């Protein structure tokens, strides 16, 4: 019995895999700003899904950055109260099993590369655009490695003055759009706002391309459902002149379950 978790800025998805070969049951709970509250809720939900059976190990996707030992979240802007909390220690204590923690975007990208839109591509770049912006690179269905997790959402897109730098996350994420326009992203209906957001994301995708040189870029997350994909594609092609051939841009096949499928792939691949 294996437990799979995808902890997001607003929701936490929890799944059980009986034999490690497929996802058997899932549940979604809210991610509370209060760390202890969410840990308690995870325990209650895991206990319900396990139905009295022993959980032999758990794979957790959590927003980053993390510390080098991958035991704590050290700077997730949308979960400030989780900063430096003993995530791995607390989960291992309440679940009474071994816990492996990876960046949530890493696992979502791995899920898409193994089970989703990236299956036919050797080098996959993945960006998730929801409450925040995360991302990763997957090579031959394995996580690429860095000292810390990859954080493409923190790339600087525009500098209005020396003291004000806007990152990709500031410009295109749900939290960023709400701060810029004074309303939740789902309430924004102005097509000019979404056109500008698509153009700013295209700049981010250009940077991802020249840094990571992928065969394809997969976009996931709730914000992608509102973006004008044709404008994104056109602007990306207009500004990207470094390479003679550009990566194909695809939307996620697995949607909000990408992280859970990535945890399953991680479990099967025994990546450490």
**Are residue 143 and residue 243 in the same domain, yes or no?**
yes
| Residue 271, pLDDT above cutoff 60 | no
Residue 263 resides in a domain: no
Residue 210 resides in a domain: yes
**Are residue 93 and residue 123 in the same domain, yes or no?**
no
| Residue 119, pLDDT above cutoff 60 | yes
**Are residue 223 and residue 166 in the same domain, yes or no?**
yes
Residue 264 resides in a domain: no
Question: Which position has the token pair 């900063």?
Answer: 83
Weakest-pLDDT range from 100-114, 155-169, 185-199: 155-169
**Are residue 76 and residue 202 in the same domain, yes or no?**
no
In DSSP notation, 74-136 reads ---TT-GGGTT--HHHHHHHHHTSEEEEEEHHHHHHHHHHHHSTTTT-SEEEEEEESSSEEEE
**Are residue 137 and residue 176 in the same domain, yes or no?**
yes
Q: Global pTM?
A: 0.89
Residue 170 resides in a domain: yes
pLDDT, tens only, 57-100: 999 999 878 898 999 999 887 899 999 999 999 999 999 999 99
**Are residue 129 and residue 40 in the same domain, yes or no?**
no
Specify whether the CB–CB gap between 76 and 64 falls below 8 A: yes
**Closest Cα partner for 39 from 66, 2, 12?**
12
**Are residue 139 and residue 60 in the same domain, yes or no?**
no
| Residue 48, pLDDT above cutoff 90 | yes
**Closest Cα partner for 24 from 35, 32, 16?**
16
CATH of the domain at 93: 3.30.420.40
Residue 111 resides in a domain: no
Give the E-state strand segments of the chain in sequence order.
Answer: 2-7, 11-17, 25-30, 57-62, 98-103, 123-129, 133-139, 142-143, 156-161, 164-167, 216-220, 248-251
Residue 136 resides in a domain: yes
State the chain's mean pLDDT as an integer: 92
**What residues have CB less than 8 Å from 75, skipping those under 6 apart?**
64, 65, 83
CA 148/CA 66 separation, integer angstroms: 7
Residue 19: give the domain boundaries: 2-102
HSE, CB side, 13 Å, CA atoms: give it for residue 36: 0
pLDDT, tens only, 218-257: 999 999 999 999 999 999 999 998 898 999 999 999 998 9
Domains of the chain: total: 2
**Are residue 26 and residue 135 in the same domain, yes or no?**
no
**Are residue 228 and residue 185 in the same domain, yes or no?**
yes
**Are residue 167 and residue 235 in the same domain, yes or no?**
yes
**Are residue 43 and residue 85 in the same domain, yes or no?**
yes
Residue 183 resides in a domain: yes
**Are residue 83 and residue 197 in the same domain, yes or no?**
no
Residue 49 resides in a domain: yes
């Amino acid at each position: 019995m294996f437990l799979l978790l995808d902890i997001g800025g607003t929701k936490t998805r929890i799944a059980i895999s009986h034999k490690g070969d497929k996802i058997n049951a899932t549940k979604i709970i809210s991610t509370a700003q209060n760390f202890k509250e969410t840990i308690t809720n995870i325990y209650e939900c895991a206990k319900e899904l396990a139905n009295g059976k022993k959980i032999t190990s758990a794979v957790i996707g959590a927003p980053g950055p993390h510390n080098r030992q991958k035991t704590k979240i050290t700077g997730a802007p949308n979960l400030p109260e989780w900063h430096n909390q003993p995530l791995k220690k607390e989960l291992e204590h309440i679940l009474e099993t071994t816990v492996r923690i990876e960046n949530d975007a890493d696992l979502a990208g791995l899920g898409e590369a193994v089970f989703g839109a990236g299956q036919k591509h050797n080098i996959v770049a993945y960006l998730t655009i929801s409450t925040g912006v995360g991302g990763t690179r997957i090579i031959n269905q394995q996580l690429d490695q860095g000292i810390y997790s990859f954080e493409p959402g923190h790339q600087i897109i525009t500098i209005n003055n020396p003291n004000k730098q806007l990152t990709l996350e500031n410009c295109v994420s749900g939290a960023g759009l709400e701060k810029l326009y004074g309303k939740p992203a789902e309430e924004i209906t102005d097509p000019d706002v979404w056109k500008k957001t698509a153009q700013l994301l295209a700049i981010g995708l250009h940077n991802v391309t020249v840094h990571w040189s992928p065969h394809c870029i997969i976009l996931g997350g709730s914000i992608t459902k509102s973006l004008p994909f044709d404008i994104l594609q056109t602007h990306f092609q207009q500004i990207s002149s470094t390479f003679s051939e550009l990566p194909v841009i695809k939307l996620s096949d697995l949607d909000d379950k990408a992280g859970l499928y990535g945890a399953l792939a991680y479990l099967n691949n025994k990546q450490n």
